[in-house]
């Protein structure tokens, strides 16, 4: 059965076809209810040794972060000082408000949920006062002890002296609360002293009446001293009272003591601007870190549970109302909410604009409202089939699927315009009725539509080679949608069109319309490609090749990014003039992130080094120290205002514990035999005492197995805000090389840095691999198709040429506009090939058909570019303009995608109507017009024209 026979069958059984298509739509579309939205970028991370190392760290170390997320509240004082009394108190009151607000309090982590500079200052001041009070208590106890001893001595020397009088005298002159029970003990001790027969009994009696009498008080003093040494946790009320009670000199002295650069207070310095001078009583800003429990749910920049989103929004509201100065909040709850809101806001503004634009352009192209509605109904059916298939296959709608409707709407409009315009041409030229005209038109474009579907779907299936799950699913869904487009516009639209036209013409309404591009004015414009092809094809091709070469160079320079900043919404100035009903939400995350990167140390950009093996080898800590030095020397590790780098390692943790624990300090230095500050002997004992002295600190950097073996250690480094993931990864891998080998393995990792860099690499690998597979498979298919249909496989090569040029132009444009590859723009290569093949095939197939009917190349070329070129113009104008409106979206990723998608459509059109005609002229000269016609006659046997009316 040839194309004409198939077209006759479809049109002849049109009512049956309509019923079958509608039943299939109902069945397939039912699956749409099962499709859920999944915006988590974690799906893009590939299996790798870096990912496995990160999982091992989460399992083996006491890491804070696997079950929590941190909101950073940036506070900047209007008067330029967040360390004055008023600002400190306002921050402490803000912390109290966080605990009192149920939206926030129910999400707070159990252990140290809020970290702030004012709390550290207030606590330090309270500790000083507590220490002074304890010293005063100790001095008073010692004085009272001495007074009691003196009283006992007088009672021993003077048998007539009154025990009660001596005790009352001591009680009257002591601030220690001495009770009657104490008096009874003193009386017993005095009696024993008077009766003592030897020195031993005498000393025992004195002890009973002094230290023994004050035993409870001395024990309470020791308990309070131990509590102070372990660290106080005063209530917020006590902290506020403390700060309010201090004068300026006391406050300045406390700040100087807290921010002594020689002390190990890295976590505190991380809350201060990098420009802060340690110990100074003034600072332009500070961070309040609020740690929230995620209840085990996955949290990332684009996804967070509702409790975290609500909690961080509440934090922002409380910050604005409670704190002095300007405030902003950065956290994954905020970013996820803003990304979601920006998507909805973009849709509310861009959606109507795109719809209006598409309707206007289609109305101009079709000049018939019924055809416009019919075409849009076809687009809707294609989307229903595609989304329904996703539901039946269990595929969720992720961020990468934003490109799917773009592709399918573009192809659907293209299929519709080619089908309807060709049927109009056939009716106009052959004076046919609705059925005969549609059958002839469907037969005319059917081969092109099938070829486009076959090659484009196969091209997108090449994404199945990707190691990234969502990209594999993207390729499969696109292929399903493309096949759905062929089914809908090859079956439903032509049969529905015939039924409608026949119904209306039976009632006296003329349904004949001219095809776009066949008029004199537009036809002369479209014929530019054919005129250039006849007069200067070499010039056209040289210019196209030069531009393509430049684009190919630019393609090698396009960057890839998976960093948070690339996905945060922006608020253009023009939105300020929108009516309140259309005005978008206020987006603050991008600006807050910029502030964090410029003025502070970002807490979420961490890289880690996992060291596995026998940690007790004497050289282990030295090799870890070498790795730490290499990393900090790379310039990618953030530097705190104290001058220290933001690094946490076994060595830095040990040094911190040694500074406050005398016993471990002695062990640490005893193990350092060469005096370089790095223990190099008896490391097992060092680890044992390290864990005993401070289990929480030790377990965060050293892993001890259930058998008691020390099997792993880790370094945690915070990257600078301006260091790329690639730079951080290179630095960390270089650091790992200082440890790796001789019984130890070192792996560089880090979710927001090294793992993301691997994801960036996987995206690039996917683009390259799918591109090569696509070109190979599509090229092979086109050789076979054109060998069978046109008798010349070389026509397939010629048709593919403009597609490659278009791809180079698109990638070169990305480079010029500094648009990076990410999980959305990475689909541009597939989109470009899909649309480019579509446009080129339509031109080549039409030219092949026109060449069979003519004796010279000139007239067929003109009819091709004015007939098919007109349909391509309508399709390109509609889809390019419609998706170019995405440039007004609030998400940079959507802006970039809309801009490049529009460019790819325009470039594909330009290549097909300007460059391809020149290639076809050379191809015709190479193959020979007569030879082509004779070859075609041998491979195809056209059926006689059929009339249905």
Predicted confidence (pLDDT) at residue 855 exceeds the cutoff of 90: no
Task: Say what the pLDDT of residue 944 is.
Answer: 36
Percent share of the chain, pLDDT over 70 = 91
Q: Give all strands of the β-sheet with 285-293 in edge-to-edge order.
A: 114-115, 285-293, 68-76, 326-330
Beta bridge partners of 290: 71, 114
Q: Of 747, 766, 783, which closes a domain?
A: 747
| One domain, residues 380 and 457 | yes
| One domain, residues 733 and 694 | yes
| One domain, residues 847 and 919 | yes
Q: What is the DSSP string of 47-90?
A: P-HHHHHHHHHHHHS--SSSSEEEEEEEEE-TTS-TTSHHHHHH
603-644 residue pLDDT tens: 778 899 999 999 999 999 999 999 999 999 999 999 888 888
- The rounded distance, in Å, linking the Cα atoms of 482 and 465 is 19
The answer as to whether 477 is a domain residue is: yes
The answer as to whether 592 is a domain residue is: no
How many C-beta atoms surround the C-beta of residue 713 within 10 A?
26
The answer as to whether 739 is a domain residue is: yes
Angle at 897 between CA 891 and CA 900, to 5 degrees: 140
Between 100 and 765, whose confidence is greater? Answer: 100
Q: Of 483, 515, 547, which closes a domain?
A: 515
The answer as to whether 575 is a domain residue is: no
* Residue 367: strand, helix, or coil: coil
| One domain, residues 709 and 733 | yes
| One domain, residues 241 and 277 | yes
The answer as to whether 786 is a domain residue is: yes
- The rounded distance, in Å, linking the Cα atoms of 95 and 46 is 40
Band (pLDDT 50/70/90 cuts) for residue 43 is low
| One domain, residues 802 and 912 | yes
Predicted confidence (pLDDT) at residue 110 exceeds the cutoff of 50: yes
| One domain, residues 262 and 292 | yes
747-758 residue pLDDT tens: 999 888 898 888
913-923 residue pLDDT tens: 999 999 999 98
300-320 residue pLDDT tens: 777 888 999 999 999 999 999
Instruction: Give how many domains the chain has, as a whole number.
Output: 5
The answer to whether the CB of 564 falls within 8 A of the CB of 42 is: no
Question: What is the chain's mean pLDDT, rounded?
Answer: 85
Q: Of 229, 258, 274, which closes a domain?
A: 229
Task: Say what the pLDDT of residue 816 is.
Answer: 94
The answer as to whether 571 is a domain residue is: no
786-810 residue pLDDT tens: 887 767 788 888 999 999 999 999 9
Look up residue 294 and give its two tokens: 């995620």
Task: Say what the pLDDT of residue 945 is.
Answer: 36
198-244 residue pLDDT tens: 989 999 999 999 999 999 999 999 998 888 877 778 899 999 999 99
* Residue 515: strand, helix, or coil: coil
Look up residue 625 and give its two tokens: 């120290």
| One domain, residues 616 and 494 | no
- Integer angstrom CA distances of residue 208 from 139, 149, 200, 216, 652: 20, 10, 12, 12, 48
* Residue 34: strand, helix, or coil: helix
- The rounded distance, in Å, linking the Cα atoms of 324 and 346 is 33
| One domain, residues 500 and 619 | no
CATH code assigned at 899: 1.20.1640.10
The answer to whether the CB of 95 falls within 8 A of the CB of 289 is: no
As a whole number, mean pLDDT of residues 521-526 equals: 66
Distance from the Cα of residue 886 to its chain's centroid: 20
The answer as to whether 738 is a domain residue is: yes
Determine the structural domain holding residue 921 and report its residue range.
Answer: 528-563+752-938
As a whole number, mean pLDDT of residues 346-350 equals: 75
| One domain, residues 679 and 712 | yes
Minimum mean pLDDT range among 9-18, 299-308, 533-542? 299-308
Predicted confidence (pLDDT) at residue 464 exceeds the cutoff of 50: yes
Task: Say what the pLDDT of residue 939 is.
Answer: 43
Residues contacting residue 270 through CB under 8 Å, at least 6 positions apart: 287, 600, 601, 603, 640, 646, 718
Task: Say what the pLDDT of residue 579 is.
Answer: 67
242-275 residue pLDDT tens: 999 999 999 999 999 998 866 667 888 999 998 9
Predicted confidence (pLDDT) at residue 728 exceeds the cutoff of 90: yes
Q: What are phi and psi of 719, to 5 degrees?
A: -80, 155
| One domain, residues 319 and 171 | no
- The rounded distance, in Å, linking the Cα atoms of 440 and 424 is 10
The answer as to whether 357 is a domain residue is: no
The helix (run of H) or strand (run of E) holding residue 570 is none
Task: Say what the pLDDT of residue 262 is.
Answer: 67
Predicted confidence (pLDDT) at residue 932 exceeds the cutoff of 60: no
| One domain, residues 239 and 204 | no
Distance from the Cα of residue 881 to its chain's centroid: 28
Taking alpha carbons only, the member of 310, 312, 264 closest to residue 288 is: 312
Q: What does the CA dihedral 825, 830, 831, 832 come to, rounded to 10 degrees? A: 100
The helix (run of H) or strand (run of E) holding residue 39 is none
The answer to whether the CB of 904 falls within 8 A of the CB of 552 is: no
Minimum mean pLDDT range among 554-568, 821-835, 935-949? 935-949
The answer to whether the CB of 829 falls within 8 A of the CB of 462 is: no
Band (pLDDT 50/70/90 cuts) for residue 588 is confident
How many C-beta atoms surround the C-beta of residue 112 within 10 A?
13
How many residues are recorded in the chain? 949
Task: Say what the pLDDT of residue 928 is.
Answer: 61
Predicted confidence (pLDDT) at residue 900 exceeds the cutoff of 80: yes
* Residue 844: strand, helix, or coil: helix
Task: Say what the pLDDT of residue 727 is.
Answer: 92
Taking alpha carbons only, the member of 232, 138, 231, 229 closest to residue 176 is: 138
């Amino acid at each position: 059965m040839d194309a004409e026979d198939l077209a006759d069958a479809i049109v002849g059984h049109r009512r049956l076809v309509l019923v079958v298509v509608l039943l299939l739509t109902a069945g397939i579309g039912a699956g749409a209810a099962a499709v859920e939205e999944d915006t988590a970028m974690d799906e893009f991370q590939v299996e790798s040794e870096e990912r496995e190392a990160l999982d091992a760290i989460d399992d083996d170390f006491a890491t804070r972060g696997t079950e929590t997320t941190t909101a950073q509240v940036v506070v900047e004082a209007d008067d330029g000082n967040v360390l004055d009394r008023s600002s400190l108190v306002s921050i402490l009151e803000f912390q109290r408000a966080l605990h009192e607000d149920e939206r926030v309090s129910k999400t707070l982590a159990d252990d140290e949920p809020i970290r702030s500079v004012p709390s550290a200052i207030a606590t330090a001041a309270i500790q000083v006062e507590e220490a002074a009070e304890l010293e005063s208590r100790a001095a008073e106890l010692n004085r009272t002890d001495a007074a009691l001893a003196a009283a006992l001595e007088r009672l021993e020397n003077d048998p007539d002296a009154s025990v009660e009088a001596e005790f009352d005298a001591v009680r009257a002159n002591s601030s220690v609360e001495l009770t009657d029970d104490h008096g009874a003990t003193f009386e017993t001790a005095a009696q024993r002293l008077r009766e003592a027969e030897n020195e031993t009994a005498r000393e025992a009696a004195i002890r009973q009446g002094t230290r023994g009498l004050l035993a409870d008080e001395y024990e309470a003093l020791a308990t309070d001293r131990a509590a102070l040494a372990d660290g106080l946790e005063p209530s917020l009320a006590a902290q506020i009272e403390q700060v309010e009670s201090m004068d300026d000199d006391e406050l300045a002295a406390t700040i100087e003591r807290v921010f002594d650069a020689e002390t190990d207070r890295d976590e505190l310095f991380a809350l201060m601007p990098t420009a802060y001078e340690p110990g100074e009583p003034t600072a332009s800003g500070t961070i309040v870190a609020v740690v929230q429990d995620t209840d085990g749910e996955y949290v990332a920049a684009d996804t967070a549970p509702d409790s975290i989103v609500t909690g961080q929004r509440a934090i922002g509201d409380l910050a604005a109302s409670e704190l002095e100065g300007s405030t902003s909040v950065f956290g994954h709850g905020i970013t996820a909410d803003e990304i979601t809101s920006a998507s909805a806001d973009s849709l509310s503004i861009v959606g109507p604009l795109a719809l209006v634009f598409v309707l206007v352009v289609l109305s101009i192209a079709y000049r018939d409202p019924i055809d416009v509605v019919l075409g849009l109904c076809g687009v809707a059916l294609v989307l229903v089939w595609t989304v329904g298939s996703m539901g039946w296959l269990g595929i969720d709608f992720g961020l990468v699927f934003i490109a799917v409707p773009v592709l399918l709407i573009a192809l659907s409009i293209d299929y519709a315009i080619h089908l309807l315009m060709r049927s109009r041409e056939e009716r106009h030229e052959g004076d046919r009725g609705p059925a005969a005209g549609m059958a002839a038109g469907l037969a005319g474009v059917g081969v092109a539509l099938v070829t486009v579907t076959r090659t484009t779907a196969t091209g997108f299936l090449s994404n199945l080679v990707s190691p990234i799950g969502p990209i594999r699913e993207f390729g499969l869904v696109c292929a399903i949608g493309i096949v759905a487009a062929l089914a809908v516009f090859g079956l439903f639209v032509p049969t529905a069109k015939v039924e409608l036209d026949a119904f209306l013409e039976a009632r006296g309404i003329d349904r004949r319309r001219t095809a776009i591009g066949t008029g004199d004015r537009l036809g002369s414009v479209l014929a530019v490609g054919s005129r250039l092809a006849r007069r200067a094809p070499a010039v056209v091709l040289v210019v196209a090749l030069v531009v393509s070469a430049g684009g190919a160079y630019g393609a090698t320079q396009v960057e890839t990014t998976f960093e948070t900043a690339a996905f945060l919404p922006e608020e253009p100035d023009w939105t300020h003039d929108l009516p309140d009903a259309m005005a978008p939400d206020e987006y603050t995350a991008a600006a807050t992130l910029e502030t964090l990167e410029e003025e502070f140390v970002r807490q979420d950009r961490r890289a880690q080094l996992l060291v596995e093996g026998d940690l007790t080898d004497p050289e282990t800590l030295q090799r870890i120290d070498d790795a730490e030095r290499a990393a900090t020397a790379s310039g990618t590790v953030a530097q705190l205002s104290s001058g220290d780098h933001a690094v946490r390692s076994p060595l830095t943790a040990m040094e911190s514990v040694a500074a406050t624990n005398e016993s471990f300090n002695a062990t640490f230095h005893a193990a350092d035999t060469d005096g370089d500050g790095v223990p190099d002997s008896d490391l097992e004992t060092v680890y044992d005492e390290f864990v005993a002295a401070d289990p929480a600190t030790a377990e965060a950097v050293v892993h001890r197995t259930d058998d008691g073996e020390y099997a792993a250690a880790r370094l945690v480094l915070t990257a600078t805000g301006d260091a790329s993931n690639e730079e951080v990864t290179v630095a960390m891998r270089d650091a790992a090389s200082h440890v790796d080998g001789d019984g130890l393995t070192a792996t560089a990792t880090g979710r927001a840095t090294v793992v993301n860099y691997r994801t960036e690499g996987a995206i690039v690998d996917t683009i390259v691999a799918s591109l090569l597979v696509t070109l190979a498979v599509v090229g092979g298919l086109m050789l076979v198709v054109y060998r069978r249909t046109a008798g010349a496989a070389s026509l397939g090569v010629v048709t593919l040429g403009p597609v490659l040029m278009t791809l180079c132009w698109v990638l070169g444009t990305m480079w010029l506009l500094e648009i990076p590859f990410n999980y959305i723009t990475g689909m541009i290569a597939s989109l470009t090939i899909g649309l480019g093949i579509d446009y080129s095939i339509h031109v080549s197939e039409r030219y092949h058909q026109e060449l069979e009917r003519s004796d010279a190349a000139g007239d067929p070329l003109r009819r091709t570019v004015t007939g098919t070129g007109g349909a391509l113009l309508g399709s390109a104008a509609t889809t390019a303009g419609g998706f170019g409106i995405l440039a007004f979206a609030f998400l940079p990723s959507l802006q970039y995608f809309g801009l490049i998608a529009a460019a790819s459509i325009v470039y594909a059109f330009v290549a097909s109507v300007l460059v391809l005609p020149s290639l076809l002229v050379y191809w015709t000269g190479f193959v020979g017009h007569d030879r082509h016609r004779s070859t075609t006659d041998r491979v195809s046997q056209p059926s006689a024209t059929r009339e249905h009316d």
